[in-house]
Structure 1
Amino acid sequence: MTNPATPPHYDSEHPTALPFDTLRVVEIGIALWAIALVAALAIPALHEGDRDWWPWVPVAGMALGALGWVYLRRGRGNAAEA
């Protein structure tokens, strides 16, 4: 029986990172926000009355995604010098 206060022993090797393009992931996210913006503007029920602020949510998502894309594109997001 193991003591619940004692953490289990793990191998000291670090797992290898999955190979994927971070810039591509950010670009897909920006594209999805753009689709959400088109939907919010195309469907009147999504931008009239109390929901008049809804189109600004995808605009903010695209703006933050663009900032993240620039950050990664300049090479600061890859932790190369860390």
Structure 2
Amino acid sequence: MRLLFVFGFFVTYGAVLTATVNNPWPNFSGVIILWFMIYLITAPARRRREYWENRRALQEEYWRSSIRYQNRYRY
């Protein structure tokens, strides 16, 4: 949610920043370039997060398929 706020701020800021003097409307090509730059800058952290999320899911799937997990309530 915080990331969405940050991206929204950057998009708004980029739209205002790239607006020309003669044209009151925002320059959305500048906003697209700004989005792409943010996407590239945040890519390594996103890849790391996805790696650990996938790894955790695989570990959990492996654990839930084990005999010890399935027999956890038996004495």
For Structure 1 versus Structure 2, the TM-score category normalised by the shorter chain is: 0.3 to 0.5
Q: Tell me the TM-score normalised to structure 2 length.
A: 0.34
Rg comparison, structure with higher value: 2
- The structure in which a higher percent of residues are helix is 2
